[in-house]
Amino acid sequence: MFVIAIAEVNTEQTYVRELQSIIDYYVKPFEAPENSTLIPSPLRDRSDIVFGNLRELLEFHDHFLLADFLRAADSVIDICHCFVSHRNRFLQLYHPYCQNKPLSEALRREHVDGCKFFALVGRCPQRVLLAKIW
């Protein structure tokens, strides 16, 4: 059971790193005013739709769930309690994320191909991370 607890902690740490990478390598450049000419006008100022609430998800996973996992790292039961104790926050965060996903996907399908911004950021090695979340 200890192996399962460690695996869950490792998975959560990876998820937090990937969310942070998406924000650093995609969201922040997308929102930077100097990049606005690279982004199709229908996507400009629509970071909240294109990327959803990734910042809030990162904050929750990094500062709350992962922190609780690390305190409970040697106990599967304690890790299960972390999920139960955060169930309402999961719903508050992932419900809007999931509701937004179809619109986000439609915008990406319509505007990402041929978009200079995504072509430029797509050259970085972190582009694989975006595909995992999207």
Distance of CA 124 to the CA centre of its chain: 17
Structure confidence by residue, pLDDT tens digits, 95-120:
999 999 999 999 888 887 767 777 77
pTM of the entire predicted model = 0.82
Question: Does residue 91 sit in helix, strand or coil?
Answer: helix
Q: List the domain boundaries for the chain.
A: 2-133
The total of other beta-carbon atoms located within 10 Å of residue 88's CB is: 8
CATH fold of 2-133 reads Dbl Homology Domain; Chain A (1.20.900)
Gap between the Cα atoms of 130 and 134, Å rounded: 6
Q: Is 75 left (phi over 0), alpha (psi -120 to 50) or beta?
A: beta
Structure tokens at 99: 């509701």
**Residue 133 neighbours by CB under 8 Å, 6+ apart:** 18, 19, 22, 54
With H, G, I as helix, E, B as strand and everything else as coil, classify residue 117. helix
Q: In this predicted model, what pLDDT tens digit does every residue of 48-65 receive, in sequence order?
A: 999 999 999 999 999 999
Average pLDDT, the chain: 86
Task: Give the Cα separation of 99 and 96 in Å (integer).
Answer: 5
